[in-house]
Chain A
């Protein structure tokens, strides 16, 4: 039996209440960290899924340069055929072709600028949740019908409803004047003000006719079964399009840099909060171990007198801290893991953030995501913080002189 470990273990229980308070602080902090990190990762996952599912998709194939400079002539030839061919690439889930143009929409009473999108009615619902947000009427059906669906606020501004006719005018790909009249068949209410104020969709086939696109479009939108597959699928798409240098495969981080920035910014502020938590716990451990070392100055003096070296005493204090921190880690991970596991199954409502959640197309309940990272990252940081906090009390032992220490009360 190693007497040092026995001694270290019994030493930490010399003051049970103080030890439990310190371990309790670590456990509380660890439970909180496991829960918060799980919540954070779960929210990010939901934010990304919600945002990408709404319209952008996980991956898009566009003409090189279109993403940064969205001119109508920066088009992808034979866009519907391209979409069909990409469906066979491994990992690709749902695929739909689109074309976009800015136009002026007019009703009998008013005119407003709109972003008009040509979509494939048969494929669009699989890559976007907008078609499912029809509040009135129906979504587009035929690929060449002269129909239009518009956002709820746009409908309100234009004073147009289902069955009304809208005129839209814009510029064709060849610079010609593009104009047409469409019948409103549906009103979309996405919950996103910006989108509902300016969005309008018509069938892609008709869009190509009106805007002189020929068989071209502007993007092929791709959804993959899960976010983790984006990288591999994008690589597969790049390989499949290797001979077509005019095309570029963009993943969601390139398509929606704001989403990544929002997550990064949120993470930064969260890490700061976590850092403060860890620091508080580290100070608690520092206080406990410093008290423990000061109280035992005489005993340490005796040990030095008997021939122990300061480094061996420091190691003893390190072992005690290791045990304290391991207790905090074990109990904290168990408690936090159970809590996060339950909530990741049952979900919970976070009152007061409905607007923010709607902005990221999130539902009413949040589901924390329990993973090795969310389970261990925080507690291991606390663990390391506790060990680091014990350095100061341990280093003090190197200054002890046996005779002076043995005179300590």
Chain B
């Protein structure tokens, strides 16, 4: 399901009178269960590529497929359904719903999926425990540290058991310790659940966790290397 295939993806933005090329004929294949980092300086197209892979943004041209699903040509509703059922998102600034508790944040998206109330409460508790937040389920985001909030966001992303998790600069707002803990969590989810991770970052600490490191510059893939992760013995 999470095999990702992109071919000749192009995306331009118009800002004032200028045309900015965010993606320039990007071709990419990612296999199920991979742990991939997209790296590059700001403006290199990492986030745009991530948005395109997640069906959040539509490329101007090119093809994207996740498993047997072709994203290009899908309607907004079909894309929403695709995101809801098959893709988990983790954002730089956590983006939790501030008026809901940690458990409710996780439950909410499961409710949208149609998971019955009793089951989603059980699942939410389980996944929060899995990310190390047992006992903090009833706290609201403002009552949690940045690292804990990001863990809630991860719990929310994986609660629906997606095959693919897309994370955009997930450690950018975290201190080193929290960042390391989050990356350890990602790696363990990747290893134990087989979830495919695609993480955009320009943080060298994060890149060390990846088994595959894709470098981008000016909307193009300029490097694609497989590496032995050095942060964990995996």
Contacts and interface: CB of A to CB of B under 8 A. Distances in A.
Contact of B156 (A10, A299, A306, A403): A306
Contact of A7 (B57, B84, B100, B117): B100
B99 A14 contact: yes
B54 A305 contact: yes
Contact of A299 (B95, B107, B109, B113): B95
Interface stretch (A156-164, A180-188, A206-214, A307-315): A307-315
A302 interface: yes
A308 B95 contact: no
A298 B98 CA distance: 12
B51 interface: yes
Instruction: State the majority secondary structure of interface residues on B.
Output: helix
B51 A306 contact: no
Interface string B149-184: 000000010000000000000000000000000000
A356 interface: no
A306 to B, nearest CB: 5
Contact of A3 (B51, B87, B104): B104
Interface stretch (B26-34, B75-83, B187-195): B75-83
A299 B97 contact: yes
Given A2-B117, A307-B83, A308-B84, A402 B56 contact: yes
A406 B95 contact: yes
Contacts of B80: 304, 307-309
Contact of B104 (A7, A14, A299, A406): A7
A192 to B, nearest CB: 65
Interface string B95-129: 10111100010011101110001000100000000
A11 B83 contact: no
Contacts of A305: 54, 56, 83, 89, 91
A313 to B, nearest CB: 10
B139 interface: no
* Max chain A C-beta neighbours (<10 A), residue from B57, B85, B91, B112: B112
B99 A11 contact: yes
B99 A4 contact: no
Nearest to A308: B112
A214 to B, nearest CB: 86
A7 B98 CA distance: 10
A10 B113 CA distance: 21
28 contacts: A1-B121, A3-B100, A3-B107, A6-B104, A7-B108, A10-B99, A11-B99, A14-B99, A299-B95, A299-B97, A299-B98, A302-B95, A303-B97, A305-B83, A305-B91, A306-B83, A306-B84, A306-B89, A306-B109, A307-B81, A307-B85, A307-B109, A308-B80, A308-B84, A309-B77, A309-B80, A312-B112, A403-B56
Interface of A: 1-4, 6-7, 10-11, 14, 298-299, 302-310, 312, 401-403, 406
Interface of B: 51, 54, 56-57, 76-77, 80-85, 87, 89, 91, 95, 97-100, 104, 107-109, 111-113, 117, 121, 156
Given A308-B112, A402-B56, 15 more contacts: A2-B111, A3-B104, A4-B111, A7-B97, A10-B100, A14-B99, A302-B91, A305-B91, A306-B83, A306-B109, A307-B80, A307-B81, A307-B109, A309-B76, A309-B77
